[in-house]
Chain A
């Protein structure tokens, strides 16, 4: 079946502009995660959605970052007034009914470059 998809695959933007990154999770998966991976760095958790529960936003690095998940499926991560340090690969993952032991399946990522 189809995996997690993300768009765009690459995004180049100018400092100060807003960007929107999209994630389509695996059909039927109720949990959705956003991570960030900077060059040569590990995985940085950003936000987690589970069904209709309030999202865990504890990993968002600043109030310029926000995410929403409409209809329990597609999610959009928005970065306002982008800065050069926002350049990274933004990864989305999804998992089944319960998050604690369900395997997370990742999308291909969106490579963001802020000039």
Chain B
């Protein structure tokens, strides 16, 4: 799977949009971009994933650049409960790509 690079930490004011970047410059054509988050002392929570088109669900939006080398997770109106470590991962298909690995992620702190 392609490696991802994320900033170690970010701050966001409550009610504002949180934009979390992820670089995955070595992504290949059949690899998806997934985002998970982990709130302190809880299990990882799936947020969203995409291949090349932008995606939106009830939690967030995922913007993938045209060359697919980077993406941005957008939490449109961050709340204090969104404080968590956010993980961007890239997963291919086939083989043993079901083995998820998380990097260091981005610690997002939402401030009142």
Contacts and interface: CB of A to CB of B under 8 A. Distances in A.
A99 B97 CA distance: 8
Nearest to B42: A108
B109 to A, nearest CB: 18
Interface of B is mostly: loop
Residue of A31, A100, A107 with most chain B CB atoms under a 10 A cut-off: A100
B97 A100 contact: yes
Interface in B9-35: 32, 34
Output the residue of A31, A56, A99, A103 with the most chain B CB within 10 A.
A103
B10 to A, nearest CB: 19
Contacts of B104: 42
Given A33-B98, A56-B96, A100-B98, A91 B43 contact: yes
A104 interface: yes
Interface string B81-100: 00000000001011111111
B43 A59 contact: no
Contact of A42 (B45, B94, B97, B102): B102
Give the interface size bracket for B toward A.
Answer: 20 to 34
Interface in B42-91: 42-46, 49, 91
A2 B44 CA distance: 16
Contacts of A35: 100
Contacts of A109: 42-43
Which residue, of A91, A99, A106, A109, has the highest number of chain B Cβ atoms within 10 A?
A106
Contacts of B94: 100
A115 B11 CA distance: 37
B98 A107 contact: no
Interface of B: 32, 34, 42-46, 49, 91, 93-104
Interface of A: 4, 31, 33, 35, 42-43, 45, 48, 56, 58-59, 91, 93, 95, 99-101, 103-109
